[in-house]
Amino acid sequence: MSDRSLPANFKEQIIQMLGQEEGNAFLNSYEQPRTYGLRINSLKLTTNATIDELIQTFRLTPVPWCSTGYYYEKDTRPGKHPYHMAGLYYIQEPSAMSAVELLDPQPGETILDLAAAPGGKTTQIAAKMNGQGLLISNEIHPQRAKILAENVERMGIRGTIVTQAAPPELSARFPRTFDRIMLDAPCSGEGMFRKDPSAIEEWSPASVALCANRQWDILQDAIAMLKPGGTLAYSTCTFNRTENEEMIARVLNEYPEMRLKAEKRVWPHLQQGEGHYVAVLEREQQAEEQAALGGRTNEAKANKKRGKSSRAGRESGKELLNAWEAFTTWAKLDLPGFQADEGVPVLFGEALYLLPRSKELTVDRELLSGIKVPRAGLHLGDYRKNRFVPAHALAMAAEAKDKARVAALQADSSELAAYLHGETLNVSAELRGWVIVTVKCGSSSYPLGWGKASGGQLKNHLPKGLRLMH
């Protein structure tokens, strides 16, 4: 695209911010092709051999500010490869990877991603948590929340609850709760211009003002949920100061307990990326707040202790106990290596979930009541007519050592193509029961979904919504 297609007000804004010379360099960057990136899923890929295979297959080069981030060339199309369906990586614009790197999530923490769809930052946070702690990932819009839940599932993430709620609904439930909060705020999208021409048509000075007002409202709820001593990362994919530096200045002016720890911009004329702004804020912890926090921590620990008193956690219903017993009986035969020690089982209708928890917070159905929850942690399966049927999410969260029976297929094989199209496969007559279908990569193989073997055939249990069209 050419800078001639950019709004005149936008070009004036850039020249005012950067000056004539650098402003022109910025505007000239729109003559260059957009950048493409992916981020390796470190929850699944733990061997250099597998990562090297991906680097060679897609001609990857490193993103300097993210150790798991890589640039790829458009013609390699990693989003169309079976490795993508297996959750080996997440397609993400490289500049956007900078926000979570600065947030610096740690295993075992209680974390919130407040405006999370489609899931780039959520999946990056979850990888850094390494399966330990609790991540609540929220998206207010129903269709985007569905996509968010699907991406969490594809990446094999266990410890994330996906909610669909307005920020005030969450702040009422979780006051001063989270160690870290990621707020990738809805913005005017100036960093999307090279990627999505429709963003240019939607941009105006009025839209910038509208976005800034919305961002301020969301920020206030985010700060209300940040515990003393906690860290908040605020990011946008836009360039103007109104939605970025001026927004942070307002926070610092109106919340004296907040302090700025770091601030970073990725500019498309200086770095290889579409552009991003990140500010990292910390809530200072006063002595009286430390005492109050200690009280809440003790209460949370008490909740955790109560959760451990029964494998049914806070639930005591007979149906839940029956469902949990059906799952554990099934898992002994079909998924013997799977560990379900962390988390609290809950039953939503027929669906059996494992709710994650952290040292500080045990989430139960009561805490989630009244808000929509597209994904209440890890969906283990459904309890129907006194039997357990495993969920697709359970296959995606499984590891190689967990599986009793595996059908490992080559990425370029006709059998794998048939499976992804929903077809039945021919297998050994000796193979019986639930089988995890995997794709080979390097020296390992990675789950794509379930099949059920009987009489020399593998019935396809890949969800219909994930099957490829002929």
- pLDDT score at 366: 86
Say what the pLDDT of residue 285 is.
84
Question: Average pLDDT in the 367-383 region?
Answer: 95
Three-state secondary-structure class, residue 437 = strand
pLDDT of residue 443: 86
Using an 8 Å Cβ cutoff, are 199 and 248 in contact?
A: no
Tell me which amino acid residue 279 is. A
In this prediction, residue 316 carries a pLDDT of 54
Residues 258 and 279: beta-carbon distance below 8 Å: no
Q: Kindly state the average pLDDT of the residues 55-62.
A: 97
Q: What average pLDDT score do residues 129-138 get? A: 96
| Amino acid, res. 21 | E
For residue 303, the model assigns a pLDDT of: 42
Average pLDDT over residues 239-259: 98
398's enclosing H/E stretch is none
- Cα torsion at 292, 296, 297, 298 (round to 10°)? 100
Question: Which of left, alpha, beta for 382 (phi over 0: left; psi -120 to 50: alpha)?
Answer: beta
Residues 6+ apart with CB under 8 A from 326: 383, 386, 387, 388
Give the residue-averaged pLDDT of 133-143.
97
Report, in angstroms and rounded to the nearest whole number, the Rg of the chain calculated over CA atoms. 23
Distance CA 89, CA 72 (A): 12
Active-site residues: which are they? 237
Over the stretch 155-191, which tens digit does the pLDDT of each residue have?
A: 999 999 999 999 999 999 999 999 999 999 999 999 9
Residue 245's pLDDT is what? Answer: 98
**What single-letter amino acid sits at 218?**
I
Q: Name the residue type at position 280.
A: V
Give residue 445's pLDDT band: very low, low, confident or very high (50, 70, 90): very high
**Upper half-sphere CA count for residue 348 (Cβ side, 13 Å):** 20
* Beta-ladder partners of 178: 226
pLDDT of residue 389: 97
Task: Quickly state the pLDDT bin for 295 (edges 50, 70, 90).
Answer: very low
Question: Which own/partner pairs from 365-370 qualify as long-range (CB within 8 Å, at least 24 positions apart)?
Answer: 365/314, 365/315, 366/314, 367/173, 368/161, 368/163, 370/169
**Is 135's pLDDT higher than 50?**
yes
Q: What is the mean pLDDT of the chain?
A: 92
pLDDT category of residue 394 using cuts at 50, 70 and 90: very high
For residue 1, the model assigns a pLDDT of 57
Tens of pLDDT, residue by residue over 250-289, are: 999 999 999 999 999 999 999 999 999 999 999 998 755 5
